Amino acid sequence: MESAFQVKNNEYHCENVSVKEIVQKVGTPAFIYSQNYFVDRFKELDEAFSYVPHLICYSVKTNSNIAVCKTLSDAGSGFDIVSGGELQRVLKAGVDPQKVVFAGVGKTEDEIELAINTGILFFTVESEPELRLIAQVAERLGKKGPVAIRVNPDVDPQTHKYITTGKAESKFGLDIDRAKQLFNEAKGLSSIDVVGIQMHIGSQITKTSPYVDAIKKMLVWIEDIRTQGIDLKYFDIGGGLGIVYEEEQPATAAEFAEAIRPLIEDLGLTLMMEPGRFIAGNAGVLVSKVIYIKENPTKKFVIVDAAMNDLIRPSLYEAYHEITTVDQNKNGSEMVADIVGPICETGDFFAKARSIPVVEEGELILVKSAGAYGFTMASNYNTRPRAVEVLVNGDKYSVIKERENVDQLIAGEKFPEW
Ligand SMILES: *Cc1c(COP(=O)(O)O)cnc(C)c1O
């Protein structure tokens, strides 16, 4: 699929359904996703790596709706989770636990127990105390804890500093010397199965060279670790593949697969990957309604009914999202404005001094590339119920998460006993 969102008859459609028609039914703000886009992106990557045994594990934190997980599971995807909550989501979506890997620096004892009992493929271990806790829990349960150790290859992925994870100063993973010691310790633990090695160097990486550099380093270490008598099965190269938000020119799945092919083809390990944004980013948009147009002597503000609590990436990372109108019948006339939400924070904006088609109060706008790290990072700040989520498939659409209401937000709150 070229793009999940296209202009037909002068207005935006998701696949074959008019965005306006969906929003008339479900209201705004609304996240709208294309089912076929998720599947196509997964298959693009899956096919690019057909030269090597591999398992693509979609990063659940990117967009964790159970309907999205089920869509990808049906297409053959595995899953990369970072919490017990995400494990329960994928189980609810009917995912085979043997296709689930569990990452994150702070797994709790309860989460580890749930994962071992469920029978996941492996934990990605990020510290010495974590390995020891997994060993303890596994022993208590009379089971084995399968682990891959996350190594920090110390390369610069050339992306935003907040989403760089593979540099030496990062909280993630272990430097190679400590990782080697940990592999040795793990080998001696009877309740631990050492099955793999993992890296994840960052996010929104548009070039292949940081992966090539990191994998080259990892290959030397894999050789050393095998020499220590440790029989690895999996080499997990993490996620991070970049997408087009503005004018980036990210490597395609095929270019990426070919760039690392000489390094991994004959390694004798199953290649694992944890893409998130690559699959979900451009599968979705956030649709919002213009509430007011406010004009200061020097500036114009388009105030919309979605806010930073719905999509925090512009506020958090100064991320660029393309913004346009759902109605494209504009004869090319444009205006320059800040597009902002109703939240009482200066940081509540989607774009600043942005040129967009001329809009009026009551009109619908589209914030593009909102399929990844959109709804999953949403909050209830300002007691704003979270948006509705809708999945489109061809000429059908379905609500996959109902809009929250204020009663749900207040439920569980109470006055103190005194
Ligand atoms: C967030 C994350 C991913 C996914 O990253 P993308 O940039 O969305 O591909 C993969 N693996 C791990 C361990 C992560 O934390």
- Residue among 289, 343, 323, 358 at smallest CA distance from 30: 289
Regarding whether 272 and 350 lie in a shared domain, the answer is no
Say which range, 14-28, 149-163, 227-241, has the weakest mean pLDDT: 149-163
Q: What is the pLDDT of residues 283-331, one digit of tens each?
A: 999 999 999 999 999 999 999 999 999 999 999 989 999 999 999 998 8
Q: Indicate whether 377 belongs to any domain.
A: yes
Quote the percentage of the chain above a pLDDT of 90: 93
The maximal CA–CA distance of the chain, rounded, in angstroms, is 72
Site to substitute for ligand 1 among 80, 126, 158, 236, most atoms within 8 A of C-beta: 80
CB 315 less than 6 A from any atom of ligand 1: no
203 Cα: distance to centroid of ligand 1 (angstroms): 7
Specify the DSSP element, H or E, that contains 109.
helix 109-118
Tokens of 71: 């869509």
Q: How would residue 157 be classed by pLDDT, with cut points 50, 70 and 90?
A: confident
**Ligand 1 atom index nearest CA of 202:** 7
**Ligand 1 atom index nearest CA of 242:** 7
CATH of the domain at 398: 2.40.37.10
- Residue among 263, 289, 284 at smallest CA distance from 390: 284
276 Cα: distance to centroid of ligand 1 (angstroms): 6
Regarding whether 52 and 12 lie in a shared domain, the answer is no
Residue-wise over 377-412: b if at least 16 C-beta within 10 A, else e? bbeeeeebbbbbbbbbbeeebeebbebeeeeeeeee
Among 277, 299, 316, which residue terminates a domain?
Answer: 277
Q: Mean pLDDT throughout 38-44?
A: 98
202 Cα: distance to centroid of ligand 1 (angstroms): 7
The Cα–Cα gap between 33 and 1 comes to 13
Cis-peptide into 275, omega within 30 deg:
no
Regarding whether 26 and 106 lie in a shared domain, the answer is no
CB 354 less than 6 A from any atom of ligand 1: no
192 Cα: distance to centroid of ligand 1 (angstroms): 25
- Residue among 54, 20, 59, 123 at smallest CA distance from 372: 59
Say which range, 59-73, 89-103, 166-180, has the weakest mean pLDDT: 166-180
Owning domain of residue 208: 35-277
Structural domain total, the chain: 2
Q: What is the pLDDT of residues 200-240, one digit of tens each?
A: 999 999 999 999 999 999 999 999 999 999 999 999 999 99
Instruction: Return the C-alpha torsion angle 95, 97, 103, 105, nearest 10.
Output: 120
Res 192 pLDDT > 90: yes
Q: What is the pLDDT of residues 382-403, one digit of tens each?
A: 999 999 999 999 999 999 999 9
Res 164 pLDDT > 70: no
**Ligand 1 atom index nearest CA of 278:** 9
Residue 281 CA from chain centroid, whole number: 8
CB 313 less than 6 A from any atom of ligand 1: no
Res 162 pLDDT > 70: no
CB 242 less than 6 A from any atom of ligand 1: no
Query: What is the reported pLDDT for 2?
Result: 60
The Cα–Cα gap between 67 and 386 comes to 17
Q: Which residues contact 68 (CB under 8 A, 6 or more apart)?
A: 33, 38, 280, 391, 400
Q: Which residues contact 178 (CB under 8 A, 6 or more apart)?
A: 128
Among 219, 248, 277, which residue terminates a domain?
Answer: 277
Q: What is the pTM (predicted TM-score) of this model? A: 0.96
Which residues are bridge partners to 58 per DSSP?
79
Site to substitute for ligand 1 among 42, 58, 62, most atoms within 8 A of C-beta: 62
Res 166 pLDDT > 70: no
CB 29 less than 6 A from any atom of ligand 1: no
Q: Mean pLDDT throughout 176-187?
A: 95
Q: Indicate whether 242 belongs to any domain.
A: yes
CB 218 less than 6 A from any atom of ligand 1: no
186 contacts 156 by C-beta, under 8 angstroms: no
Torsion sign (Cα): 234, 238, 241, 245 = positive
Q: Mean pLDDT throughout 73-94?
A: 98
Specify the DSSP element, H or E, that contains 355.
strand 349-357
Q: Residue 351 CB: number of other CB atoms within 10 A?
A: 18
Q: How would residue 53 be classed by pLDDT, with cut points 50, 70 and 90?
A: very high
CB 126 less than 6 A from any atom of ligand 1: no
Query: What is the reported pLDDT for 168?
Result: 67
Task: Assess whether 57 carries a catalytic annotation.
Answer: no
Query: What is the reported pLDDT for 1?
Result: 60
Q: How would residue 183 be classed by pLDDT, with cut points 50, 70 and 90?
A: very high
Q: Mean pLDDT throughout 90-115?
A: 97
Q: How would residue 172 be classed by pLDDT, with cut points 50, 70 and 90?
A: confident
CATH of the domain at 137: 3.20.20.10
Regarding whether 251 and 214 lie in a shared domain, the answer is yes
The Cα–Cα gap between 264 and 312 comes to 37
Regarding whether 123 and 72 lie in a shared domain, the answer is yes
CB 17 less than 6 A from any atom of ligand 1: no
Q: Mean pLDDT throughout 64-73?
A: 98
Name the amino acid, one letter, at 7. Answer: V
Regarding whether 257 and 109 lie in a shared domain, the answer is yes
**Ligand 1 atom index nearest CA of 150:** 13
